[in-house]
Structure formats: C-alpha cells, structure tokens
Amino acid sequence: MKKFPLAVAGFCAFMTAGYASAVTTDLAAGNNAIILTDCPLLANDITLVLSNNVVGSLACEPTTSVAAISVCHTKGQKSSRSAVVTLEDDGVTVKCTVSETETCIESVSGSTFPTASTGSGQVTQQYPDTECSQTAVTAVANAQAPAPTAP
C-alpha cells in the first residue's frame, strides 16, 4: 500500500502545462505505458507500474491544465473505520491538525483511493463510499480533474 502514494507523487513530478481535449486512461496491474498522446500534460512518456489487484485511472483536462491519478486495491479494506479526511470530493483541501476538537476525522467505509492531481499538488486519500473497481477509480480521478465551467 505504501507504493501507491509514491507512484502517484512520482507521476505528478512529470507534469507540465499543455492544451488538447480531455483524456482518461485506465491503468491495470503491471506496466502501464503513458505517452504524450494519452496525456498531453506530461513532459515526457512514462511507465506506471501497479501491483497485483490494483486498478487506476489517469484523467487529463488540458483546458484547465489539470491531470489527476487515482488508484485502489480490489482486495483492500472496505469496512467502516475512522480516517483523517483532508480533501473534499470536489478537490477542496481541508486544513486540519488532528486533535480532540478537529472535525476532519470521519467515519468512512468502502475502499481507499490514493489520489493526486496537479490541481491539489499532493497525494490524498479519497473515500467515495464504494468498493474498488475500474469504474469507481475513473470517477474519482475525473472528479479531481474537472472540465472547465461555463461562464
């Protein structure tokens, strides 16, 4: 599990600005070659390596210059538990220091989705209250790389 945040952080280090239409790429266990045509925000081609039973998604939104990656483990913990939640579903960062009076400790259930985006600039844990699947991880990645809003 510790490899997820490292892979996500490493991926974000290769980001740069670009312009094209939105792109979503599914990631599966093993080597995942991502080339510039898959995500025009990349500085160069990269390979993301995911462990067995791990799925992921890369979402690129060039019109807002935001790329996001999210992963999850299909055999990971799904039961209800307490967790520190520092990123809202819409990508807004919650500033929180864990203490007896902080409200960022929440009861969560479902899979954990380590997620990073060029918009937030950090790796966070997402808890969308669902089990890990390709569809779910794609939705989490897309939520972190939203399309521009109409004026």
Question: What are the domain boundaries of the chain?
Answer: 3-144
pTM value surpassing 0.85:
no
CB 141 within 8 A of CB 89: no
The predicted-structure confidence for 37-94, as pLDDT tens digits, reads as follows 888 888 999 999 999 999 999 999 988 899 999 999 999 988 888 887 766 655 566 6
Return the beta strands (E) in 18-142 as ranges: 23-27, 30-34, 46-50, 54-61, 66-73, 81-84, 105-108, 113-117, 123-126
